Amino acid sequence: MRAFFAIFVYLWCLIVPGYAQETLTFSAVKGHPLNQLGEQIVNEAYSQLSLQVKIKEYPLARSTILSNDGVTDGELGAAASGTRNKFPNLIQIPVPLVYVEGVAFTINTEFVVDGWESLRPYKIGIVRGTKFAEPFIKDMKVVKVGTNRAMFEILELDRVDIVVAELLVGLVALRSLDVPGVKVLEPPIVRIPLYHYVHKKHKALIPRIHEVIKKMGDQGRLATLYGQYVVRLK
């Protein structure tokens, strides 16, 4: 029996060398409402490998740079676009961890959303610098403001028909505002997958965590956690 246990420990160390009881630190963009959900997901995933996880938030410009440089152990979640080319030391776990959902919020305007072009007849409010949306609505009737608060204020004042924002960002903003009657139009305008990235120094770990996260996705666990999080914000 002792011999069997010794062999088991030896094989485990070969599969994931040096990871017993280790805490991994992942970068995340400071203040983003997806961080809490992402942290819950990766904690659950890595716990299945007997690993602990800590999230450190950084400004947008620094987060992925620090994870690529190996200062942290990877990135909590990032879009695939540009990440592979700009940050070659980060290895993507090819299962969407969560989605950024770009949606239209409204008070008085009702229509079925069908992509960006379905917004064209309406006057749109948006926070300046919203990268997922600006290229697609630049030739539409757009009012740009500086903050989420200002965006929902012009919606309440009927200066725009709809406002466009990330679903979770909008829901978090509304919790601190007194703007009654705001609804989310369905379906989302766009859904952008965010992937978990691990620094290449942990390449021995990557097949294992990929397997765990894929299983969570296949079994509907990722979708369940996302749905529960959205309900809590509403």
pLDDT at 189: 98
Same domain, residue pair 29 and 50: yes
pLDDT at 71: 97
Same domain, residue pair 92 and 33: yes
For helices 34-47 and 221-233, give the axis angle rounded to 10 degrees: 150
Residues 121 and 58: their CA atoms lie apart, in Å, by 38
Same domain, residue pair 121 and 82: no
pLDDT at 35: 95
pTM: 0.85
Same domain, residue pair 86 and 202: yes
- Greatest extent of the chain over all pairs of C-alpha atoms, in Å: 75
Same domain, residue pair 118 and 183: yes
Helix (H) or strand (E) holding 135: helix 134-137
pLDDT at 10: 42
Q: Is residue 225 part of a domain?
A: yes
Same domain, residue pair 109 and 184: yes
Same domain, residue pair 135 and 162: yes
Cβ neighbors of 200 (< 8 A, separation 6 or more) are 89, 90, 91
Same domain, residue pair 94 and 207: yes
Q: Is the peptide bond before 187 cis (omega within 30 degrees of 0)?
A: yes
Q: Is residue 108 part of a domain?
A: yes
Same domain, residue pair 91 and 113: no
Out of 190, 205, 221, a domain closes at: 190
Same domain, residue pair 128 and 93: no
Same domain, residue pair 168 and 200: no
pLDDT at 60: 84
pLDDT at 9: 38
Q: Is residue 50 part of a domain?
A: yes
Looking up residue 64, the CATH number of its domain turns out to be: 3.40.190.10
Q: Is residue 3 part of a domain?
A: no
Give the mean pLDDT per block of 10 residues along the chain (234 residues). Answer: 43 46 90 94 97 95 94 94 83 95 97 97 97 95 97 98 97 93 97 96 96 98 96 90
Expressed as residue numbers, the domain containing 131 is 100-190
Same domain, residue pair 37 and 91: yes
Question: What domain count does the chain have?
Answer: 2
